[in-house]
Amino acid sequence: MASSLTYSLFPISFILFLSSFIYTSTGAFSEDLSDAILTKRMEKHTHLHFYFHDVLSGKHPSSIRIAGKPKPGAFGDTYIIDDALTEGPNATSRVVGRAQGMYAISAQDSDVALLMVVNYAFALGKYNGSSISVFGRNPVFHDVREMPIVGGSGLFRFASGYALAHTIWFDFKTGDAIVEVFMFEGQRWADGYFQWLLSSEDVVLFLFGF
Ligand SMILES: *[C@@H]1O[C@H](CO)[C@@H](O)[C@H](O)[C@H]1NC(C)=O
Ligand SMILES: *[C@@H]1O[C@H](CO)[C@@H](O)[C@H](O)[C@H]1NC(C)=O
């Protein structure tokens, strides 16, 4: 059975690889992309672009230190965040969601690298209530940092992909920062593939034939 199944799947994966990619940029917060697959099956991808406001200073910080040495900025520092995500770089621009989670300085060398464990909870339009989970290494003084998307909920169920972060403003005195974020999200290939498989009558009949 296993070898017959493998044999039967091979031509399908070949067809998926032939899929063409349609992409148009609108410069907006989000855009949906479609893979037109020869079988007329559509697969969704989403690109997101927004700004992340990490505020440690003032009366209402959105990032609070919960552990670390007495002097902040050292290995072990851990913060819990509920940071606003906005459409534009200005904190007064439209809020598209919140980054909720934690980060910790997890590198002992001078290359300050954070461990990021963050859920991006979106609140705009059709994305309201859907989230993307990011877990990765963030060497904050590098120009562009890449972090893996490890999952999601709602419209982002089965999400995978990656996020790129680029700091556009940083206050060395307070630690406050504004970070531009791009997300390239897509349904995890294997999951999408098996969903397609299960929704394809021909293949289901073929499987029941055994
Ligand atoms: C942000 O927007 C406010 C109000 O619209 C404006 O006063 C301020 O100058 C803007 N800040 C920046 C950095 O553009
Ligand atoms: C998002 O959904 C919540 C709960 O369903 C609702 O209270 C809120 O008004 C919605 N926000 C937007 C911007 O649609």
Distance (Å, whole) CA 182 – CA 51: 9
Q: Domain residues of the chain, as ranges?
A: 48-189
Q: How far is the CA of 28 from the centre of ligand 1 (A)?
A: 20
Q: How far is the CA of 94 from the centre of ligand 1 (A)?
A: 13
pLDDT (mean) for 59-65: 97
The per-residue pLDDT for 147 is 97
Distance (Å, whole) CA 66 – CA 71: 13
Decide whether any atom of ligand 1 lies within 6 Å of the 128 Cβ.
Answer: no
Q: Which architecture does CATH list for 48-189? A: Beta Barrel (2.40)
DSSP-based three-state secondary structure for 49: strand
% of the chain surpassing 70 pLDDT: 71
pLDDT (mean) for 67-79: 94
101: nearest Cα among 117, 113, 85: 117
Residue 178 pLDDT exceeds 70: yes
Candidates 85, 128, 130: which one to mutate for ligand 2, based on the most atoms within 8 Å of Cβ?
A: 128
- Name residue, tokens 């770089």: 89
pTM of the model: 0.74
Question: Which pLDDT tens digit goes with each residue over 114-172?
Answer: 999 999 999 999 999 999 999 999 999 999 999 999 999 999 988 999 999 999 999 99
Average pLDDT of every residue of the chain: 80
Candidates 92, 95, 170: which one to mutate for ligand 1, based on the most atoms within 8 Å of Cβ?
A: 92
Contacts of 115 (CB under 8 A, 6+ apart): 103, 104, 106, 136, 137, 138
Distance (Å, whole) CA 168 – CA 165: 10
Decide whether any atom of ligand 1 lies within 6 Å of the 90 Cβ.
Answer: yes
Residue 27 pLDDT exceeds 70: no
Distance (Å, whole) CA 39 – CA 4: 22
